[in-house]
Structure 1
Amino acid sequence: MYCGFILFFSTQLLFVASLTQSYKCGDNIEITSADYLTSPGYPTSYPPSQQCMWVISAPDPGQKILINFNPHFDLEDRDCKYDYVEVFNGGDEEAPTLGKFCGKIAPSPIISSGNELLIKFVSDYESPGAGFSVRYEVFKTGQPLWIRC
């Protein structure tokens, strides 16, 4: 009987570990090529009580970063008080804010002024939405910007 309890405990522990590896809530990302990051649970539903921060860095100090949000953008819309994504023009929350976003309309493309951006995602304990996906890449001078109207 004792052995069964240990096995049950181990199974539960492994199950929890596999769930936590299904997404990353924050990371330090050095751009090697264009890629995507998503809020946890995207595109179905993000979990409650999240605070995720991704610091995105371009390889060279003189480079800038371009981010484009996927049009499938869905965060609770209550004046961005409870669930939101916020973009900072640097590698920490002391950097100037480039925008704080929520609702169902994806933000326009954003370009950093330096080689780092911080993306912060916050959710409260209720009313989750689908979340967001954002494409990031090194901005090349003269690169056309496609803005959704």
Structure 2
Amino acid sequence: TYVHIQLAPGTLIADFTANSTSIPVGGTVDFTDQSYGNPIAWEWTFEGGNPATSSEQNPAGIQYSEPDSYFVSLEIFTDEDTSIITKENYINVNVYYCMGDTSCTTCQGMFFDSGGDGANYSDDEDYTMVFYPDNSEYKLKCNFTMFDVEWENNCDYDWLKIYNGESISAPLIGKYCGTNSPGTIIASNDLGALTFEFHSDGAVNEPGWVAEISCDTGVGINENQEYSFVNIFPNPVKSNFIHLESNQVIDNVKIFNSLGKIVYTNSFRNNKIQINTNNFRTGIYFISVKTGNEILHNKLQVIR
């Protein structure tokens, strides 16, 4: 069954597309006007972009220099009407890391084999790469979303080893090959570091891997455990406030976005508090509540 909808000739509806919505730091995006109604003027706003605004119909080469998720807004005009559309979290700017002999300090980014995004790794590679968290209180987390390394029963041809620490002398977490993905790995050592050692032999190479680098702040650990000393409501959040009630004094609250960045922090000395979430965009957040010697970690969903 097909439903044919015909808009009135004078209807003005703003819309647009981008040639890419996920780019590395320093990457550029080209935008294409897809509006209906024959607009005669355009006003673009690019959060985090350079330039930040444009009056062109199809602006190209908008550059993003900082990792984050950004909105894009387009307002269109005729002599008699106007229409606007805003796409939240539309452009995702990621830090990319490729396997090599180096060390990195970060809590966000994409981690690839030496071939990067879209190419295989090469033959005869031997690399060791160390990741440290950018906050001494965090633990490095690596989530493999794709893994494909040459298979051999004992992983003697091509392999990836992951160590719980800052060198290959640290405890071995695992040795991986084929499509046996490491899954999600979280460091548990004092430094919060993970070390990756990769070897490929002289023949046959595969696509390698794609992984998301982030930092674990304790959120998600024992997530199913029931904590009775703090009540957080409403959750999901559809209003402009969340409320926390505890049978102990709440000392500190931190809220992290999905990239691991702190978007709210404050200290208290009260059993009941209220937090304004008016500036929080739709998405998943993580809340950390400290009461005495205990810390509650939980997910917080904001719906606008």
Q: TM-score, normalised by structure 1?
A: 0.73
Q: Matches of 1:61 and 1:142 in 2, distance apart?
A: 16
Between Structure 1 and Structure 2, whose CA radius of gyration is higher?
2
Residues 108-123 of structure 1: pairs in structure 2 closer than 5 A: 108-114=183-189, 115-123=192-200
RMSD of aligned residue pairs (Cα, Å): 1.9
Q: What's the counterpart of residue 41 of structure 1?
A: 115
Quote how far apart the aligned CAs of 1:60 are.
Answer: 3.3
Greater RCO (CA < 8 Å, at least 6 residues apart): 1
- Aligned match of 1:15: none
TM-score (norm 2): 0.37
Partner AA of 2:163 in structure 1: F
- Structure 2 unmatched ranges of 5 or more: 1-97, 223-304
Q: Could you give the per-residue CA deviations for residues 70-110 of structure 1, whole angstroms, max 9, x where no partner exists?
A: 22x11011121120111000011110011111002322211
2:39 is aligned to none
| Residue of structure 2 equivalent to 1:69 | 144
Greater share of residues in helix:
1
Q: Of Structure 1 and Structure 2, which has the larger fraction of its residues in strand?
A: 2
* Cα 1:24–1:141 shift into 2, 3 Å: closer
Matched, 1:86 2:156: no
Q: Distance in 2 between matches of 1:90 and 1:126?
A: 30
Contact 2:145 2:183 in 1 (8 A): no
Runs (4 or more) in structure 1 with deviation over 6 Å come to: none
**Equivalent of residue 141 in structure 1, options 190, 200, 218:** 218
Structure 1 unaligned spans of 5+: 1-22
1:138 is matched by which residue type in structure 2?
C
Q: Which residue of 1 aligns with 2:252?
A: none
- TM-superposed deviation, 1:28: 0.9
Q: Deviations over 1:25-48 (max 9, x none)?
A: 2321101x4101211114332110
